[in-house]
Amino acid sequence: MCGIIGYTGPLEAKDVLLKGLAGLEYRGYDSAGIAYFNQDSQVRSIKKVGKVAALRECVKSTCEISHCGIGHTRWATHGGVTDANAHPHSCGQVTLIHNGIIENYAKLKKVLEKKGYEFVSETDTEVLAHLLSEYYNGNPAETIQKVMQRVEGSYALGIMFLDHPNHIYAARKDSPLIVGASKEGNLIASDVPAILRYTRNVYYMENEELVCLSREHIRFYNIDGEPLEKTPVTIEWD
């Protein structure tokens, strides 16, 4: 298994992400990584084989301020345990994390390689990053919908687009993903313990739904781009 965390809001995102990943360590993993928008609206990625503690030491070396980012703990499936195979993965405007397995990734990878895309990892996740970049038209939601219609398998995705700073987009199919609403920002996660210190108000995403998070808003859509109204659930347990 592996874990997902994402945050956008007024707090220091790197700290929120690392604490969220620590809350997911029970799921088992072999590498961890984060990506975030810095104060210049550029995306920085830091990833490391080993425990979250090792990643935390790497993050300490940066003094950049961040208020939006995504994080991931990986259990190797496609490709070995290496820094290159750790999440997040990036291509062009796109940086993403992924839980699940893309069953038709080899077919998609061949198509993308013929178009000139070069791969630096052995993962099915990097295929998603390149495919999103190939389809990107300036509208993140429309682009994600197109990719959701092309891929086969299971996924929970956390995605950032370089030209949409401080926004997180997420989608799911057959892999758990929740959204947390807080006065201190909004979050995504693969499980409640990652975000329980920040909020008890949680939305459970259903299959083939996507969401856009900013500091102020949470907007849900179906795979056809139609807006959805969802009701949050209050988590009563600790």
Q: What's the whole-number mean pLDDT along residues 106-135?
A: 96
201-236 exposure pattern, b = at least 16 Cβ within 10 A, e = fewer: ebbebeebbbbbbbeeebebbebeeeeeeeeeeebe
Task: Tell me what the mean pLDDT of segment 200-210 comes to.
Answer: 96
Can you give the pLDDT at residue 1?
52
Find out whether 57 and 51 touch, Cβ atoms under 8 Å. no
Task: Indicate if the pLDDT at residue 162 is higher than 60.
Answer: yes
Check whether 218 has a pLDDT greater than 80.
Answer: yes
Which comes out higher in pLDDT, residue 137 or 83? 137
Using one digit for the tens of pLDDT, what is the confidence trace for 65-92?
999 999 999 877 776 778 889 999 999 9
Query: Would the pLDDT of 122 be above 80?
Result: yes
Mean pLDDT of 57-67: 92
Write down the pTM of the prediction: 0.95
How far CA 75 is from CA of 19, 25, 81, in Å, comes to: 19, 11, 8
pLDDT at 20 over 90: yes
Strand residue runs (E) in the chain: 3-8, 31-37, 43-49, 68-74, 89-91, 94-99, 155-161, 168-173, 178-182, 185-189, 201-204, 209-213, 218-222, 227-228, 233-234
Cβ atoms of residues 183 and 11 within 8 Å: no
Given this model, what pLDDT does residue 100 score?
93
